[in-house]
Amino acid sequence: MTENDAPFLRLDAIVKRYPGTPAPAVDGISVDIQRGEFVSLLGPSGSGKTTTLLMIAGFELPSEGRILLEGRDIVGLPPHRRNFGMVFQNYALFPHMTVAQNVAYPLELRKIPTAEVRATVGRYLEMVGLSGLAGRRPTELSGGQQQRVALARALVFSPPVVLMDEPLGALDKNLREQLQVEIKELQKSLGITLIYVTHDQSEAMTMSDRIAVFNHGRIDQIAPPDRIYRRPATRFVGEFVGDSNMIEGRAIAGEIGLADSPLGRITCTDGTSVLTSGQPVLVMIRPELVRLSNRPTPQNGARLVVSRTTNYGDRVLVEGIGPNDTPLRLRVSAREAEDCRPGSQIDVAWDPEDVHVLPRSA
């Protein structure tokens, strides 16, 4: 790796152990983050993502490993000397200060001249859509407005890295989706390096350049959202991010295809060439990629008995039982769902390129 290719921020085999706990909270994580990248740390509660963020911020110290910013180890630096912006779920605004005073606070700590502070605060309040509310106090604002103040305060001093810990978790769905778009647009326009903790899969998929999926203190996979969704590295990633059908089978090595699937032979264009013949595998097919067929399909298809349907408005989830009592789910339109009443038989099919294969131990 050349100097120009070196990562802006590097987590190098960081570990965090707490006294009295048998397993590390974070267990040997290594991640390279480039300048201007938006990386989400995604995982269930207790998976280590927030602990990792706190170590980057300096509020927790790693038990092992290094955190490098532009090649310099910052583990020994206290939080205020790391100069990172922080946005929390609970806003953490000063209630006795106005909106403008809250946003100005980081600049005043840095002894920026008053005229420059005033101009900079005005510019950032305009960016987050709060120009007319500079004189109000946090208690006079809605939750979305308070989070915009926290965002402006985190950005106003042009930090090298901005860290966000579940910042939209307390907001309702519509406001959360609106702020997702605004944060992403700000991140891109300002060229911010942003690390974002969330357990919301759709939030991570919508906003991120890359997603790191956490599982029991480790990262199972870090990749762009499309690859995380279409080609998960482990069963956990495939089941945690979105809905999936996981079918057990055995590989036929050296050719495209699987044998011994409960649904019969399933062909694919991915994965089997690197597997040993007869190796146990998992075949993943996303429900929205399974379609209704007007005839039985001997390969990449099955006949199901519909057991249940769930209407989500735009799409209907159809659950059925195939050969050898194999469950299978598909998503169809409301019109197609008319032919999928519980108890009815339907034929379904899927394309080889929509099948993903991974070793069963993964």
Q: Taking the chain (362 residues) in consecutive chunks of 10 residues, what is each chunk's mean pLDDT?
A: 72 96 95 97 95 97 97 95 91 92 95 95 94 94 92 94 91 88 93 95 95 97 96 94 92 66 83 70 94 82 95 94 96 94 95 88 69
The position carrying tokens 């040993």 is 276
Angle at 342 between CA 340 and CA 346, to 5 degrees: 40
Number of continuous H segments (helices) and E segments (strands) in the chain: 9, 19
Q: 232 near 36, Cβ under 8 Å? A: no
- Model pLDDT, residue 259: 62
| Sign, CA torsion 266/271/273/276 | negative
Beta bridge partners of 246: 284
- Model pLDDT, residue 264: 84
End-to-end CA distance of the chain, in Å?
Answer: 30
What is the set of domains in the chain, with CATH numbers? 36-65+77-230 (3.40.50.300), 243-359 (2.40.50.100)
Helix (H/G/I), strand (E/B), else coil: 308: strand
| Sign, CA torsion 113/158/165/50 | negative
Q: 327 near 321, Cβ under 8 Å? A: yes
- Model pLDDT, residue 274: 59
The span from the CA of 24 to the CA of 188, in Å, is 35
Burial class (CB in 10 A: 0-12, 13-18, 19+), 269: middle
Helix (H/G/I), strand (E/B), else coil: 144: helix
Between strands 38-42 and 210-215, the pairing is parallel
